[in-house]
Structure 1
Amino acid sequence: MFNRKSILSLVLLLTCIMAAKAQVKIGFEVSFKEPQAHYAEVQMNISGLVKDYVDVKMPVWTPGSYLVREFEKSVEEFKATASGKAVRVEKVRKNTWRIFSAKAANIQINYRVYAFEISVRTPFIDESHAFLSPTGIFMHPDGMIKSPSTVKIIPFKTWSKVSTGLTPVAGENFTYKATDFDILYDSPIEVGNQDVFEFMASGVRHEVAMYGGGNYDKEKLKVDMAKIVEQETAVYGENPNKYYLFIVHNFARGGGGLEHLNSTTLGATRTAYNTEAGYKGFLGLVAHEYHHLWNVKRLRPVALGPFDYDNENYTTNLWVAEGFTSYYENKYMHRAGFNDANTFVNDLAGGIAVVLNTPGSKYQSASESSYDAWIIGYRPNENSKNNSISYYNKGEVIGILMDLEIINATKGAKSLDDVMKAMYLQCKTLKRGYTDAEFKAMVEKISGISFTNFWAKYVNGVDDAEYVKYFGYAGVDVSTENATPGKPVTGASGQLSNSGLVVTSVTRNSAAWIDGLNVNDEIVSLDDVSINDALSTLRLRSPMLSLDILPVVAKKNIGEVLKVKIKRDGIDKELSLTLKENPSVRLKATINENATAAQKAVFQKWAGK
């Protein structure tokens, strides 16, 4: 039992500890001596942390991209001084450096980072710009994730701009502050001569930083991106930011995006803005990543924050986080006026067809796909399509079905929008993420019906989507046809090489699968026609191709035998493939003009227009 003196002593001790933590200051300075060689120079200053040694750690992954990427592999020339004197440094884990500071009050750490991987989730530096993806650049003292820090950027001599979602430090050029390392690690930084423009939407100032040039129309983008922002904010009833940044990297061929708390990084094709498909593709990417402002960054699975930056962070709910966001991308494009109702329903039907046509959808559930993101999702192999399904694709299908089920059950009064808003507010109130059970409970509360069977079939099970039934709720007819009626298929694809055609993919239960054609087999001839002769009549735009486009295959009938001569590990072999019908299907959605009043009410709520 504590007496009064013990309690006072404990209070004094806690006060001293809090004061000591408050006195610790962490600052970074990033410069670029050799950008053409793809290096950043990082100086980290720590003061007030008086210990025998200090461990500093670099994250091994970046939130939103569920793969351990080992960013520490790019760190060079790590060294440290304590109170101005060089001190011993020892690497004690793959991502942890121990500095023997001997209770010095001031520590300076210097290291270089090699950055030459183009993606939205990895740092990249060359003579034209620097993209600093923070988890691959910065480090934190062990156990001090919640500590504030400052970052000063010193642009290369030919660069003049810095774009980031971090808060500027008043009166200090290119200097920013983060309230903790979660914020720092979630705030990418673009340095260079990017083209910057702004627009207002939903009361929020939005900045767009364009790198790499392109045939974009800034004035048109301002209007159209604002439409997307306003549609998304309307679902959740509030926009949690005062400022939001789009960093856009324009390349010869680009794509992909990564969400952050008040920013996103997008990849785009610089010459595609003036085509309908290219422009809508970019707006769809904007819609997807902006939706993560709520779904993932704030409305999130409980496992995704606070983060463990040293290890994998497992969750079974990425089908909500990413899959629902893919679904909402289509909804926002329709609601904002970029796609008509016919395009809307057919894009969604196409998404269902993708899952139906992926053999792995029969073997891996959406929840399993989410959990296995760390080992399969970001590093698929030649057999992944046969034993796994993307939580993006399967989650999109679940979103479609769930939305229609809720709308139908409530006779058009409620939709998935209501669930997403309620879960966002719940996470905001509880200051934590949701569990799978909590998400299911909210769906049932909003809809007024049980979703236990739905969860068993579509979330934790591998049942095919009952798309005719669900689209029928909204008066949309869906027809199904074979993707290539009457045409035989081998089920194998290959890649052109100097020696001919090498098999790269074999589809489960296809002729190639059943009759023993393997990945890495080198095809010598088909029905005694040399592979070079078989390819000679084709005008190929890509080194990747399906064997089924070759004339010697296409002229055959379903059930006929294709004789295939191969080399396998240098040994000649001959196989006989009994050609099968293509199991893939195409779906076509048609809005029924004679739909009932109830169906029209469901469609109206579903489409949101």
Structure 2
Amino acid sequence: MKIKGSLIVILFYLFSMTAVDSQAASAAQIYYTVTFPEAQAHYADIEMRISGLAQNQLNLKLPVWTPGSYLVREFSKNIESLSAATNGKPVEVTKTRKNIWQINTQGLTDVTVKYRIYAFEISVRTSFIDASRGFLSTSGMFLYPDGMLHQPSTIHITPYKNWSKVSTSLEMVNNDPFTRYSPDYDILFDSPIEVGNQDIFTFDAGGVKYEVAMVNQGNYDKERLKKDMAHIVELETAIYGENPNKHYTFIVQNYAKGGGGIEHLSSTVLGAARNAYGTETGYQGFLALVAHEHFHLWNVKRLRPIALGPFDYDNENYTTDLWIAEGFTAYYDNMIVHRTKLYSTENYLGVLAADINTVENQPGAKVQPLSQSSFDAWIKSYRPDENSINTTISYYNKGSLIAMMLDLEIINDTKGAQSLDDVMRYMYQEYYKNKKRGYTDAEFKQALEKFAGRNLDDFYKKYINGLADIDYNHYLGYAGYQVVNDYANTNNPTLGIKMVSFNGRLKVAAVLRGSAAWIDGINVNDELMAIDGNPITDANNLLPGKHVGDKVTVSLLRDGLPMEVPITLLKDQQVKYRIISVNNVTPQQLTVRNKWLKN
């Protein structure tokens, strides 16, 4: 299969703007045509026609990031050969910034802009074109006129050869699936488009029509997915009291290895491993991803930190509240799957324990506060390096645990009458529906206090803005549970390194802060050869017969040069927690447990 065709985006634009030498109001119509004459080389050719101009200068811009993925991705690097003309005559274009092209429109009422764009980055957040399909991540594809973000658009798609389907959340025009409408650029940039021969199935849930577009092959069972995905939708809708969509689209990209997702206002793009649906672990993992990204249609796309909208598409949009936007969503994804009864209580507690172990085994948890993790997403979370484990903490994992703790706190304090569900519903109604704006950090805290019935200053000081050790047993104890560390009575030696196999060789991928390797100077990228002269053959058994306090000599290659590094072995500080029930559960604990786990 190959890609070819045209994509016509018509933006009917009524606007008032200050011209270089006038204050005249102007009405403009903007048309995009996208063709794929060299799809095999991963290019799209875009023609942008603008008529009804009444200003002397026009600035065309391309977003530098896409909402939901907090990293400046410099989409404009993919644009080449940009030119402008009117009535076939060239018009001057000057690039004034990395993502801005300035056009002299003095005396002109219309202009046609043409550019080529390269699209060959496989991910849920970036455009990809090849000879089989086209995925258009719209924020990285379409230039927009500065000052015209709030104008409507119509998109017509002409499929290439045997292409027969378009999947997007954009509304159809005149019941034509290849013609779509968007009321403004924010929605256009929040509505990815899949064009090709994807396998589409639908289901209805909560009065909303859902489309699932399966891209590439997979061993999925459509009937089972319809049933379970509909159940997830209904459970999440029940939390908020309504589903604000008329229809919703899942675009699922199936690859040999796949994962991750990105939320949109009325759609989501998911990455999946095409053959993982056949195992219960793989299937449940996919449903947790479905639950996560679908939950975002409320939490973050509508109920949002105030910094995340209206968007600044030119720069970073900073917030300290991604631990709510993403962390709470990460809490609910597995909770929702548990509420479907696909996770047993034992399985669900195992998932929570895994999050605890992830946080507690990351030295960065003692370095970076949760609120700072949110703020630094732009420079750290999306740009991990070999030392990230020592300097950062994930607002997903720790944020999920904070949500669990607050949920249990509210349930306990209200004797089972209310839960975190009630906070989320209240915030959605109060800020998205009533105030029609995002919330501040202080406002979300006030809502938590309203339902918990207590001041949370100390909680925030310790766990959100500080680095205090989390007292898991205090919060789990409300429901009659506790954590036990299976490694508590061990005294195993360790170098304190993470290793990877590269071309049959064992290399150091990370050195844990405070470990023997950290103290005595083993480096990332060192190739380990032997310990005390014994060749290393098993990365999982580096120190047979060794004890804490032993001095060993590590033979390694550093940049191809042989070295011997003396190391004094230290105790392995890693933990392995399990969540178990306490003995003699009280009636109050049972009330909390049943409310929490929906027993």
**TM bucket by the smaller chain?**
over 0.9
Matched, 1:283 2:287: yes
| CA distance, structure 2, for counterparts of residue 512 and residue 489 of structure 1 | 9
2:9 corresponding residue in structure 1: none
| CA distance, structure 2, for counterparts of residue 554 and residue 326 of structure 1 | 39
Superposed displacement of residue 499, structure 1: 8.6
Matched, 1:463 2:468: yes
**Residue pairs, 1:497-516, within 5 angstroms:** 497=502, 500-516=505-521
* 8 Å contact from structure 2 (residues 166, 177) kept in 1: no
| CA distance, structure 2, for counterparts of residue 253 and residue 569 of structure 1 | 31
**Residue pairs, 1:302-321, within 5 angstroms:** 302-321=306-325
SS in structure 2 at match of 1:482: coil
Matched, 1:28 2:32: yes
* 8 Å contact from structure 1 (residues 301, 433) kept in 2: yes
**Residue pairs, 1:182-197, within 5 angstroms:** 182-197=186-201
| Cα distance, 1:497–1:287 mapped onto 2, change above 3 Å | closer
**Residue pairs, 1:289-304, within 5 angstroms:** 289-304=293-308
1:266 corresponding residue in structure 2: 270
Q: How many pairs align?
A: 580
The CA deviation string for residues 58-80 of structure 1, in whole angstroms up to 9 with x for no partner, is: 00000000000000000111111
Amino acid in structure 1 at the alignment position of 2:558: R
SS in structure 2 at match of 1:24: strand
**Residue pairs, 1:45-64, within 5 angstroms:** 45-64=49-68
1:518 corresponding residue in structure 2: 523
SS in structure 2 at match of 1:553: coil
**Residue pairs, 1:96-495, within 5 angstroms:** 96-170=100-174, 174-428=178-432, 429-482=434-487, 485-495=490-500
Superposed displacement of residue 205, structure 1: 0.2
SS in structure 2 at match of 1:322: helix
Ranges of 4+ aligned residues in structure 1 off by more than 6 Å: 16-19
| CA distance, structure 2, for counterparts of residue 153 and residue 75 of structure 1 | 21
* 8 Å contact from structure 1 (residues 365, 461) kept in 2: yes
* 8 Å contact from structure 2 (residues 472, 482) kept in 1: no
| Cα distance, 1:114–1:390 mapped onto 2, change above 3 Å | same
1:597 corresponding residue in structure 2: 587
Superposed displacement of residue 561, structure 1: 1.9
| CA distance, structure 2, for counterparts of residue 456 and residue 409 of structure 1 | 20
TM-score by length of 2: 0.93
Matched, 1:527 2:532: yes
Amino acid in structure 2 at the alignment position of 1:512: A
| CA distance, structure 2, for counterparts of residue 567 and residue 240 of structure 1 | 59
| CA distance, structure 1, for counterparts of residue 23 and residue 150 of structure 2 | 13
* 8 Å contact from structure 1 (residues 28, 152) kept in 2: no
| Cα distance, 1:484–1:42 mapped onto 2, change above 3 Å | farther
1:579 corresponding residue in structure 2: 569
| Cα distance, 1:18–1:476 mapped onto 2, change above 3 Å | farther
| CA distance, structure 2, for counterparts of residue 348 and residue 95 of structure 1 | 43
| CA distance, structure 1, for counterparts of residue 315 and residue 135 of structure 2 | 24
* 8 Å contact from structure 1 (residues 25, 148) kept in 2: no
| CA distance, structure 2, for counterparts of residue 379 and residue 286 of structure 1 | 25
SS in structure 1 at match of 2:486: strand
* 8 Å contact from structure 2 (residues 168, 192) kept in 1: yes
- Please identify, of 499-508 and 114-123, the stretch whose mean Cα deviation from structure 2 is larger: 499-508
| CA distance, structure 2, for counterparts of residue 235 and residue 526 of structure 1 | 56
* 8 Å contact from structure 2 (residues 496, 517) kept in 1: yes
* 8 Å contact from structure 2 (residues 480, 586) kept in 1: yes
| CA distance, structure 2, for counterparts of residue 262 and residue 39 of structure 1 | 27
Superposed displacement of residue 113, structure 1: 1.2
* 8 Å contact from structure 2 (residues 484, 579) kept in 1: yes
* 8 Å contact from structure 1 (residues 476, 591) kept in 2: yes
The CA deviation string for residues 435-487 of structure 1, in whole angstroms up to 9 with x for no partner, is: 00000001111121111110111110111211111111001132123189343
* 8 Å contact from structure 1 (residues 301, 434) kept in 2: yes
TM-score by length of 1: 0.92
| CA distance, structure 2, for counterparts of residue 18 and residue 556 of structure 1 | 81
- Please identify, of 367-376 and 475-484, the stretch whose mean Cα deviation from structure 2 is larger: 475-484
The CA deviation string for residues 535-557 of structure 1, in whole angstroms up to 9 with x for no partner, is: 2xx5xxxxxxxx4x14x523322
* 8 Å contact from structure 1 (residues 515, 577) kept in 2: yes
| CA distance, structure 1, for counterparts of residue 497 and residue 395 of structure 2 | 24
1:559 corresponding residue in structure 2: 549
Q: Which runs of 5+ in 1 are unaligned?
A: 1-12, 539-546
* 8 Å contact from structure 2 (residues 485, 576) kept in 1: yes
Matched, 1:88 2:92: yes
| CA distance, structure 2, for counterparts of residue 149 and residue 416 of structure 1 | 39
* 8 Å contact from structure 2 (residues 260, 272) kept in 1: yes
RMSD between superposed Cα atoms in Å: 1.9
* 8 Å contact from structure 1 (residues 213, 270) kept in 2: yes
| Cα distance, 1:67–1:280 mapped onto 2, change above 3 Å | same
SS in structure 1 at match of 2:543: helix
The CA deviation string for residues 9-51 of structure 1, in whole angstroms up to 9 with x for no partner, is: xxxx99x999945x32222222211211111221212121222
* 8 Å contact from structure 1 (residues 168, 176) kept in 2: yes
| CA distance, structure 2, for counterparts of residue 404 and residue 577 of structure 1 | 45
| Cα distance, 1:168–1:18 mapped onto 2, change above 3 Å | farther
| Cα distance, 1:573–1:173 mapped onto 2, change above 3 Å | closer
| CA distance, structure 2, for counterparts of residue 161 and residue 121 of structure 1 | 20
The structure carrying a bigger helix percent of its residues is: 1
* 8 Å contact from structure 2 (residues 25, 54) kept in 1: no
| Cα distance, 1:294–1:101 mapped onto 2, change above 3 Å | same
Amino acid in structure 1 at the alignment position of 2:111: I
Superposed displacement of residue 172, structure 1: 5.2
Superposed displacement of residue 380, structure 1: 0.8
The CA deviation string for residues 399-425 of structure 1, in whole angstroms up to 9 with x for no partner, is: 011111111111111111111111111
| CA distance, structure 2, for counterparts of residue 170 and residue 484 of structure 1 | 70
- Please identify, of 491-500 and 502-511, the stretch whose mean Cα deviation from structure 2 is larger: 491-500
* 8 Å contact from structure 1 (residues 29, 154) kept in 2: no
| CA distance, structure 1, for counterparts of residue 249 and residue 489 of structure 2 | 45
Amino acid in structure 2 at the alignment position of 1:418: D
Matched, 1:588 2:554: no
Superposed displacement of residue 226, structure 1: 0.2
Q: Which runs of 5+ in 2 are unaligned?
A: 1-15
| CA distance, structure 1, for counterparts of residue 435 and residue 112 of structure 2 | 39
SS in structure 1 at match of 2:72: coil
Amino acid in structure 2 at the alignment position of 1:476: Y
SS in structure 2 at match of 1:606: helix
* 8 Å contact from structure 1 (residues 553, 562) kept in 2: no
| CA distance, structure 1, for counterparts of residue 527 and residue 583 of structure 2 | 53
